[in-house]
Amino acid sequence: MAEPIEPTACRAKLYVKGRVQGVGYRAFACRVASQRGLCGGVRNLDDGRVELEVEGTKEQIALLIEDAKTGPPASRVTAVEVEWSPATGRFSDFQVWY
Antiparallel, parallel or unpaired: β 50-57 and 94-96: unpaired
- State the catalytic residue, choosing from 44, 49, 76, 90: 44
- Residue 26 annotated to the active site: yes
Beta sheet of 76-86, edge-to-edge order: 76-86, 9-19, 50-57, 39-44, 94-96
- State the catalytic residue, choosing from 26, 31, 43, 49: 26
- Residue 44 annotated to the active site: yes
CA separation for the pair 45, 86 (Å, rounded): 23
Catalytic residues: 26, 44
